[in-house]
A and B are shown apart, each in its own frame.
Chain A
Amino acid sequence: MRTAFINQLIEEARKNDKVFLIVGDLGYSVVEPFVQQFPDRYLNVGVAEQNMAGFAAGLALEGYCVYIYSIGNFPTLRCMEQIRYDICYHNLNVKIVAVGGGYSYGALGPSHHATEEIGMLRTIPNMVVCAPGDPLESKKITTFCTTHKGPCYVRLGKAGEPVVHTDLRELTIGDIIEVKKGETTAILSTGSMLKYVCDFVNDNHLNSAIYSFPFIKPINKSQLKEIFLNHRSIITIEEHQAQGGFGSAILELGNDLLNEGCIAVLPKIRRIAIDDKFYSIAGSQQYLREVAGIVLEKDFFQ
């Protein structure tokens, strides 16, 4: 996913000479192709994320489209106030890219488990929150972010995620992607849970619909309304704490649609997410997902 991101960023930088990439001393074996092609539009500001966010705000004030790149909690939680006050309050053109969403760096421990940042970032005005589901979504989100004037957050997995989509149109803000049509139950997936969801549905021959949400904020409300109207049961799945995350966003919007009279009944919504816990055990991403209960079960579909 990160490879798709950097390759597309190179494409964007060719088209737009204001694209500038800043890293916080991370990105080994990822950013090198960008650096080779655009050495004057790249800077390593060192291990100092608060400064990275403020410095990026300064470059954006001068007209640059600035990407800041680091791992999980570092370009997000570590500099949350700079993101809120310097970047978002001034509505500056800064794109925050975190590699290692969720338990991607499972064995590295809770310092590297990025499992709360979506909830925090989606409360901030002007911020667009993205979590692409496969390398193709990652590529399209990179194009979207470069074109969109204003702050964006992009949660990436790591390297080597499988491609899910065979083809994907350009994304507009809030787009929901229909991956598979189905009846009764719709699974709403965000970020790199997508491949797991597709495999589970295939392996168990389920007639469920699958939707991928590369945007967690905003979410296209009329597309969501159609999903709610056409399914009795909804399952949300994310690699994030249950409070404030993707499932919460879906519940909020569902409730709003109900209140506004756009839907007559709210489908049953099951949220699959982390249940308010830290996990201080080593393990692969898959192992930690299972331990944290981020799994689908056949019973959910009866």
Chain B
Amino acid sequence: MDAKSLSIGIRIKVLEMVHRANASHVGGAFSMADILAVLYAEVLNIDPKHPADPFRDRFFLSKGHACSALYATLGLQGFFPLEQLDTYAMDGSMFLSHTSHKVPGVEISSGSLGHVLSIATGVAFAAKLKKATFKIFCIVSDGELNEGSNWEPIMLAPQHKLDNLVLIIDYNKIQSLGFVKDVIDLEPLRAKFEAFRWEVVEIDGHNHEEISRTLSGLSENKNGLPKVVIAHTIKGKGVDFMENTILWHYRSPNIDLYNNAVKQLNQS
């Protein structure tokens, strides 16, 4: 599936999942949907039939609350039968509403913020140790950067020249209870990472061509610097009444809003 179709498919599937389960976090799932679509359609080398292949690229999702978008991506890409997602967040389902490593294609469980970048850094270090050439991508949310634990691997990765590590920040500017700038302003974010000796690129996190070019190019650049992509995104991107609202961090769409949203996405 091409990235454009995949990005629409992810959003429609996520809507269906969160509507059925009356679940949260659709806004944060939509803000990273385009990044996931491009990663899985164009950048990552992972065979859905062999998700444990040691040579595969590694993708780590740290903002585990937005896992509906990752599950939808993996389902649409054939890691498991898509209809299994009908059980999302239901009694007895393996599809927990925070990322579960029991799901085929998921590298690590996440849900407690500020954990996964350390793990991805460990994997990047191990790859260097083993002289393996696979790439390592990790998506962290903006609000998640409040967790001090993130800044420990941000300090460590340049020390060991982990240029095989690409951190993507889903910078949708809204966290759980408010706008990022009003809770703990991250700016100047680029300067923070530059000061920590990372190579920094800022992109429009909804422009597929830009995402693809950046993510493919960065991981080829063996310059001794870990890479961070600050992806400027829109929370709830793709559905007008969800975009840029704090409400849709938690809200689940009722049937009318669900129908309205699906209609908008089908026309996009």
Which A positions have Cβ atoms within 8 angstroms of B? 40, 43, 45-46, 48, 50-51, 53-64, 81-82, 85-86, 89-90
Least CB distance, B133 to chain A, in whole angstroms: 13
- Which residues does chain B contribute within 8 Å of A63, judged by CB atoms? 126
Task: Identify 7 residue pairs between A and B in the complex whose beta-carbon atoms are under 8 Å apart, listed by A's number.
Answer: A54-B122, A58-B122, A58-B124, A59-B126, A85-B112, A85-B115, A86-B119
Closest 6 CB pairs of A and B: A58-B122, A54-B118, A51-B152, A62-B126, A55-B122, A48-B152
Decide: A90 near B153, CB < 8 A? Known: A58-B120, A61-B107, A85-B115: no
- Which residues does chain B contribute within 8 Å of A60, judged by CB atoms? 122
Q: Are A46 and B115 in contact (CB under 8 A)?
A: no
B108 at the interface (CB under 8 A from A): yes
- Which residues does chain B contribute within 8 Å of A64, judged by CB atoms? 126
- Which residues does chain A contribute within 8 Å of B120, judged by CB atoms? 58
Q: Are B108 and A55 in contact (CB under 8 A)?
A: no
Q: Are A50 and B101 in contact (CB under 8 A)?
A: no
In the complex, residue of chain B having the shortest beta-carbon distance to the beta carbon of A85: B112
Give CA–CA (A58, B124) in the complex, Å: 8
B155 at the interface (CB under 8 A from A): yes
Q: Are A59 and B118 in contact (CB under 8 A)?
A: no
B123 at the interface (CB under 8 A from A): yes
Q: Are A48 and B155 in contact (CB under 8 A)?
A: yes
Q: Are B122 and A46 in contact (CB under 8 A)?
A: no
Can you add 5 more A-B contacts, CB < 8 Å, to A48-B156, A62-B127?
A51-B156, A57-B118, A58-B123, A62-B126, A86-B118
Q: How large is the interface on B (under 10, 10 to 19, 20 to 34, 35 or more residues)?
A: 20 to 34
Least CB distance, B155 to chain A, in whole angstroms: 7
B121 at the interface (CB under 8 A from A): yes
B125 at the interface (CB under 8 A from A): yes
Decide: A51 near B123, CB < 8 A? Known: A62-B130, A90-B108, A90-B109: no
Q: Is the interface of B mostly helix, strand, loop or mixed?
A: helix
- Which residues does chain B contribute within 8 Å of A46, judged by CB atoms? 152, 155-156
- Which residues does chain B contribute within 8 Å of A51, judged by CB atoms? 118, 121, 149, 152-153, 156
- Which residues does chain B contribute within 8 Å of A40, judged by CB atoms? 129
Give CA–CA (A62, B127) in the complex, Å: 8
Give CA–CA (A82, B152) in the complex, Å: 13
Count the A-B residue pairs with Cβ separation under 8 angstroms: how many? 84
Decide: A54 near B155, CB < 8 A? Known: A59-B125, A64-B126, A85-B109: no
Q: Are B112 and A58 in contact (CB under 8 A)?
A: no
Q: Are A54 and B115 in contact (CB under 8 A)?
A: yes
Give CA–CA (A50, B113) in the complex, Å: 12
- Which residues does chain A contribute within 8 Å of B123, judged by CB atoms? 58-59, 61-62
- Which residues does chain B contribute within 8 Å of A43, judged by CB atoms? 125
Decide: A54 near B156, CB < 8 A? Known: A61-B107, A61-B108: no
Give CA–CA (A63, B129) in the complex, Å: 12
Least CB distance, B45 to chain A, in whole angstroms: 17
Least CB distance, A92 to chain B, in whole angstroms: 9
Q: Are A55 and B127 in contact (CB under 8 A)?
A: no
Give CA–CA (A64, B127) in the complex, Å: 11
Q: Are A55 and B101 in contact (CB under 8 A)?
A: no
Most interface-central of A51, A82, A90 (chain B CB within 10 A) = A51
- B156's partner among A45, A53, A57 (CB-CB below 8 A) is A45
- Which residues does chain B contribute within 8 Å of A59, judged by CB atoms? 122-123, 125-126
Least CB distance, A202 to chain B, in whole angstroms: 48
Least CB distance, A117 to chain B, in whole angstroms: 19
Give CA–CA (A13, B56) in the complex, Å: 28
Least CB distance, A289 to chain B, in whole angstroms: 35
Decide: A82 near B115, CB < 8 A? Known: A48-B152, A51-B121: yes
- Which residues does chain A contribute within 8 Å of B112, judged by CB atoms? 81, 85
- Which residues does chain B contribute within 8 Å of A89, judged by CB atoms? 109
Give CA–CA (A94, B124) in the complex, Å: 17
In the complex, residue of chain B having the shortest beta-carbon distance to the beta carbon of A55: B122
- A58's partner among B101, B118, B155 (CB-CB below 8 A) is B118
Q: Which positions 169-199 of chain B face chain A at CB distance < 8 Å?
A: none
Q: Are B118 and A90 in contact (CB under 8 A)?
A: no
- Which residues does chain B contribute within 8 Å of A82, judged by CB atoms? 115, 118, 149
Give CA–CA (A296, B262) in the complex, Å: 73
Least CB distance, B109 to chain A, in whole angstroms: 6
In the complex, residue of chain A having the shortest beta-carbon distance to the beta carbon of B159: A46
Decide: A58 near B115, CB < 8 A? Known: A46-B156, A90-B108, A90-B109: no
Q: Which positions 130-155 of chain B face chain A at CB distance < 8 Å?
A: 130, 149, 152-153, 155
Least CB distance, A60 to chain B, in whole angstroms: 8
- Which residues does chain B contribute within 8 Å of A81, judged by CB atoms? 112, 115
Least CB distance, B211 to chain A, in whole angstroms: 25
In the complex, residue of chain A having the shortest beta-carbon distance to the beta carbon of B154: A51
- Which residues does chain B contribute within 8 Å of A57, judged by CB atoms? 118-119, 122
Give CA–CA (A86, B64) in the complex, Å: 13
Give CA–CA (A54, B123) in the complex, Å: 10
Least CB distance, B185 to chain A, in whole angstroms: 24
Give CA–CA (A58, B117) in the complex, Å: 9
Q: Are A61 and B109 in contact (CB under 8 A)?
A: no
Least CB distance, A84 to chain B, in whole angstroms: 9
